[in-house]
A and B are shown apart, each in its own frame.
Chain A
Amino acid sequence: MVYQRSWRMAFQAAFPATIPVLTGYLCLGMAYGLLMAANGYGPLWSVLMSAIGFGGSMQYAAVSILVTAFGPLQAFLLTLMVNARHMFYGLSMLERYKGLGWARFPLIYTLSDETFSLVSTVDPPEGVGRREFFLCISLLDYSYWVGATALGGLLGSFIMFDTTGLDFALTALFVVLFLEQWKGKEHRPAGAAGVACAVVSLVVFGPDNLVIPAMVMILAVLLGGRKLLCA
């Protein structure tokens, strides 16, 4: 009974935190299902890709691979590059995901941009366990993405209202969580460094190659300034 109650409390605490992700994923996931359907890959395939691949922007990039000649190695290498940013998420979560046992498998498997932004910034409320809270957030986000893909593949073309711009919910989510980090004075130099390195990388390397140079610069700045930042 105690066990059940702690899960219910975790769900009640986690669900509101995931609503912005629900909005964004509903929009982007449905658009993905639609795009796949438009290229001849029905809901079965788009849902399989979302459930197994679970990689957001990478899944969009993979559509272009699915419509050319069979190139699994190319798909694999492109994925490593597009998703290299995930390595930062793991590095940040080493401490918070420590000692969670079996739960680490689903937690790490589903560690997307949006899930990372929540689990790295939001703490479980008093009386709610870390394992239950983080699992609820991760699995809710995951089910939104898979569910939205299915919806898009099945009935996307019946949507009646103009959803243009709805996916801005995810940008807004990152802005808000950036501000939440910014509240801690000790996090400000790192936050500013992140924005600055990404902007420099965007200007120098362009939108398609922004991530990896930005990561290298961020690592250099943070490690270089470590004595100052973590004193």
Chain B
Amino acid sequence: MRLTPFETLGIILAVAAGTQITRWLPFWLFPENKQPPAWVTDLGKVLPAATMGLLVVYCLKDVAWSAAPHGAPELLAIFAVAALHRWKGNVLLSIAGGTALYMALVQCVFV
């Protein structure tokens, strides 16, 4: 422990404050007793799909594409998730199957 307990608590509160501001800001800007402008409501409808795309890419941001194995485990596992999901449409099965394949690939194949 490098910091004193009080300093540590200070960092925890600073992180909490920063996080909570980003979570609450939209709800403060557009309180529920007032009708938000049309562009905000429209944005709310299309943002989830766009954000999910951003999150997928965000999860892959630290993959080293230029070095072997060039992201092969990630791409193969994502392909497996998508194929399983198309085939059975079962969320848990798709995730478990893809994760199991990924673990096998990074632990046994692309070591």
- A residues near B, CB below 8 A? 16-17, 19-20, 23, 39-41, 45, 48-49, 52-55, 58-59, 62, 65-68, 70-73, 75-80, 83-95, 97-99, 104, 108-109, 111, 113, 116-117, 120-121, 162, 164-166, 168-182, 184, 187-199, 202, 207, 210-211, 214-215, 218-219, 222-223, 226, 229-230
Contacts and interface: CB of A to CB of B under 8 A. Distances in A.
Given A111-B23, A113-B55, A195-B56, A172 B18 contact: no
Contacts of B46: 187, 189-190, 222, 229-230
Nearest to A222: B46
Chain B interface residue bracket vs A: 35 or more
Contacts, number: 272
A147 B91 CA distance: 24
Contacts of A179: 82, 85-86
Interface of B is mostly: helix
A178 B56 contact: yes
B98 A207 contact: no
Contacts of A94: 26-27, 30, 32, 36, 40-41, 44
A98 to B, nearest CB: 5
Nearest to A57: B58
18 contacts: A53-B12, A55-B16, A66-B3, A73-B14, A89-B23, A89-B51, A95-B41, A116-B51, A166-B99, A172-B81, A172-B102, A184-B49, A193-B50, A198-B56, A214-B54, A214-B57, A223-B39, A230-B46
Nearest to A80: B18
Contacts of A41: 1, 8
Given A165-B106, A194-B51, A174 B59 contact: yes
A207 B64 CA distance: 10
Given A164-B107, A198-B54, A52 B13 contact: yes
Closest 3 CB pairs of A and B: A79-B18, A194-B53, A90-B26
A193 B1 contact: no
